[in-house]
Chains A and B, each alone.
Chain A
Amino acid sequence: MSEDQTLAKLLLEQGVSRRGFLKFCAGLATMMALPASMIPTIAEALENAKRPSVIWLSFQECTGCTESLTRSHSPTLESLIFDVISLDYHHTLQACAGHFAEHIRTEVIEKHFGKYIVIVDGSIPLKDGGVYSTIAGMTNLDILKETAKGAAAIIAVGTCATYGGLPHANPNPTGAVAVSDIIKDKPIINIPGCPPIPVVITGVLAHFLTFGKIPELDSLGRPLSFYGDSIHDRCYRRPFYDQGKFAKTFDDEGARKGWCLYELGCKGPITHNACATEKWNQGTSFPIQSGHGCLGCSEPDFWDAGSFYKPVPTSPSDIASNVAPAVAVGAAAGIAIGLSNRLKKAHAAKQHKKVTNDDLQS
């Protein structure tokens, strides 16, 4: 399959009808929250687009992000890899191994310099020279720097690559950092989540292919079309929140009636993601729908933000244990000041002289 062929030609060769192609474009437009009037533009752009080469780098991660991607349904992973992109390097999905695999990576960098896309999942350890994660004898830091040099754009997938994620959690033994902490001169799209929603990963790729530029991002580098709203604002249980109807335990009447999980620690109000709209498993469900509160996994440092089972307004710190020492310190200081004032008062009383007739006459 020639890499210079346009997507339209490729699809025609594979027997994809014009109707089927337009359906695919309509699906993309819906996913990216674009108006129907954009479908012809998407179709035209994709028809003329050339399959970009993609290098997928896996660093300190659990492969959950790849597992998520393999469950992509619109477009499917197969159609994404075979029709839309050329996934040239990916530890889990590539057939080759060893030196040959590394050779492909360096070859892609040389051949498509300035044009390929780099996808990163996993955080990068910096402590002790980055020895905590190496591939083919190279530290993650060196691989990232080398690969990012010729990239057209970098897509950081998963909370580890976007914000450091679990490896970055206190006390961060490996000195893990995000991609954006290292690479400063390339456009970076953050797709956080632990893992991110599969259609969000493919949707962002499709957006880049369609428009040739990165989508509009929020202050944390996340595409607004998927991360513009909080889970809470799009949650089907939101009316119960407004009515003050909350499940108090996971098996009480409120839980059975599907009331809001806010009091059970749902982090929906402070979490931005598309779970409540795109959902998981081909749009079947999402954590809140299955009866568990949102963990807030698409936000930085969600692991250090307190218990998953304590409501958002409660404090991650143990405030109650501060009360007695604070009152004790206050009492000691108060008594000291009070006694000093009393001494002053007694001294003033002692100094006080009774007014005599002589005083008045003088």
Chain B
Amino acid sequence: MTTMELLTWLRGPGLSISITIMLIGITVRLLEMLLLGRKKDLSEARDSSSAKYGWRTVFTRSLPSMACLQKVPVTFITGYVFHIGLFLIVFFFVPHMLLIQDVINIKWPGLPFWIIDAITLLTLIAMLISLWYRYWDKVRRYLSTFSDYFVWTITFLPVLTGYLLYHRQLLPYNEMMVIHIITIELMLIFLPFTKLMHSFTFIFSRWYTGEAAGRKGVKI
């Protein structure tokens, strides 16, 4: 199989298979969690419009908290940088954007390449610091499992190979493209079955947190 044949397979059936696995996995896991239900809160609600707090929290928990910045500055800064970075790379880097737009048929403008280039570099640095911090800090190291390092790796590799691809480093363009797409497809396949699932479950967990607090009369 030539590089081009492999590339065509990865762009076509390969991508199709990995997205199908991802979609099946996400649906199964979300339904599994939601159908499990929650224990009924028998206490009287102090605020009957507690659902409102649930929805509010989904968004407000994305805003920076100064208390967190002071307490865990490394996690806070690197976390924000690579989360925003990954979001912009996936949805506003023209080649990625074109693929998503082709599937969902909704258009939006992309960012110039030099901006994405800088964002990618910052994302890589932030992710490397977060890994180093996870290992350097004894408590975090103790709490970390294989899954944490695995998730970091499958998130880091697409960004790294994409950066090398754009700058024509290490391997010829088409070969690096093959590796880049493989890393992305691996990430898509593992997304529902690892902690990467938080990219979907965060909505539910935040909603429950906000709703539970609202019910108790705590305004968060």
Contact = CB atoms under 8 A, between A and B. Distances in A.
Contacts of B30: 334
A244 B26 CA distance: 33
A342 B35 contact: yes
A299 B4 contact: yes
Contacts of B111: 244
B5 interface: yes
A258 interface: no
B173 A341 contact: no
B96 A304 contact: no
A48 interface: no
Nearest to A163: B2
B174 interface: yes
Interface residues of A, number: 51
Interface stretch (B13-21, B59-67, B151-159): B13-21
A300 B13 contact: no
Given A317-B13, A337-B28, A338-B34, A300 B4 contact: yes
A334 B28 CA distance: 4
Interface stretch (B71-79, B100-108, B199-207): B100-108
Contacts of A315: 11-12, 15-16, 99, 102-103
A287 to B, nearest CB: 19
Nearest to B92: A244
B25 A339 contact: no
Contacts of B20: 322, 325-326
Contacts of A246: 94
A263 interface: yes
Contacts of A325: 20
A220 interface: yes
B16 A338 contact: no
Secondary structure dominating the interface of B: helix
Contacts of B216: none
Contacts of A326: 19-20, 23-24, 27
Contact of A244 (B2, B19, B23, B94): B94
Contacts, number: 143
Given A306-B12, A315-B12, A329-B24, A230 B4 contact: no
A339 B35 contact: yes
B18 to A, nearest CB: 10
Interface residues of B, number: 46
Given A322-B19, A331-B31, A341-B35, A316 B8 contact: yes
A241 to B, nearest CB: 7
Contacts of B168: 233
A218 B174 CA distance: 12
B36 interface: yes
A348 interface: no
A342 B37 contact: yes
A349 to B, nearest CB: 11
A254 interface: no
Nearest to B107: A248
Contacts of A331: 27, 31
7 contacts: A305-B8, A311-B99, A317-B13, A319-B16, A325-B20, A334-B28, A339-B35
Closest 8 A-B residue pairs measured CB to CB?
A330-B27, A338-B35, A334-B31, A326-B23, A330-B24, A313-B95, A244-B112, A316-B12
Interface of A: 163, 218-220, 230, 233, 241-244, 246, 262-263, 269-270, 272, 299-302, 304-306, 310-320, 322-323, 325-327, 329-331, 333-335, 337-339, 341-342, 345
Interface of B: 2-5, 7-8, 11-13, 15-16, 19-20, 23-32, 34-37, 94-96, 98-99, 102-105, 110-114, 168, 172-174, 177
